[in-house]
Amino acid sequence: MHKNLIIGIVAIVGIVAGILFFSLQSAPVDEQANQNAPVKQNDQAAVVPGADSSNANIAVSEKPNTAKFEEYFDALYLAKIANNEVLNYSAIPQASLSFVVGRDQFCTVVEPKKIISAGTYASAIYNVNTKTYVKPKTVFPGTFDPMLNAGCGSIPAQVGKYEYKAYLGNTLVMVLPFEIK
């Protein structure tokens, strides 16, 4: 029975990692509306997971709906593992705001409080310097169960400063600033 449990956990981890990787690579929802559409810059600040006290309140391009985030999520953050590593659910990587091309894998960690139906969660990656989307809003095709979900893949953009934007339906629920070096 113990062997079957381990096989089941490994299978679930592989499926979730594959789905998350697919969501980073899948087709955009509305390419014309999102691909190069600028987002109005404002002075909103976000408390960013993984940030030290000197940069915990970082200005972001738009304000997320924190009430909706609190309703649906226990955690949502970016993390990294080395290029040659495989994601290990017994040692989930810590939050990170900085990634190095050729050294790191880009990971997304999502821990919902309740089931998030297939086709509800979406993400986009926004270049804060050019004010364009380098990865348009893309719907995640799978369901998130109320447990730790994580997936890692290649770094999604070139050197620069970006924001990972998470949505539930059309509602922005989280903006995570990060840098690629």
Contacts of 156 (CB under 8 A, 6+ apart): 24, 106, 125, 134, 135
Look up residue 138 and give its two tokens: 């893309």
Enclosing domain of residue 24: 2-180
- Total structural domains in the chain? 1
Q: Tell how strand 149-153 and strand 171-180 pair up.
A: unpaired
158-175 exposure pattern, b = at least 16 Cβ within 10 A, e = fewer: eeeebbbbbbbeeebbbb
pTM of the predicted model, to two decimals? 0.71
Contacts of 90 (CB under 8 A, 6+ apart): none
Question: What's CA 162's distance to the chain center, in Å?
Answer: 12
Q: Tell how strand 160-168 and strand 149-153 pair up.
A: unpaired
Per-residue pLDDT of the chain (181 residues; tens, 9 = 90+): 444 433 333 333 333 333 333 333 333 333 333 333 333 333 344 444 433 333 445 678 899 999 999 999 999 999 999 999 998 877 877 889 999 999 999 999 999 999 999 999 999 999 999 999 999 999 999 999 999 899 999 998 899 999 999 999 999 999 999 999 9
33-54 exposure pattern, b = at least 16 Cβ within 10 A, e = fewer: ebeeeebeeeeeebebbbbeee
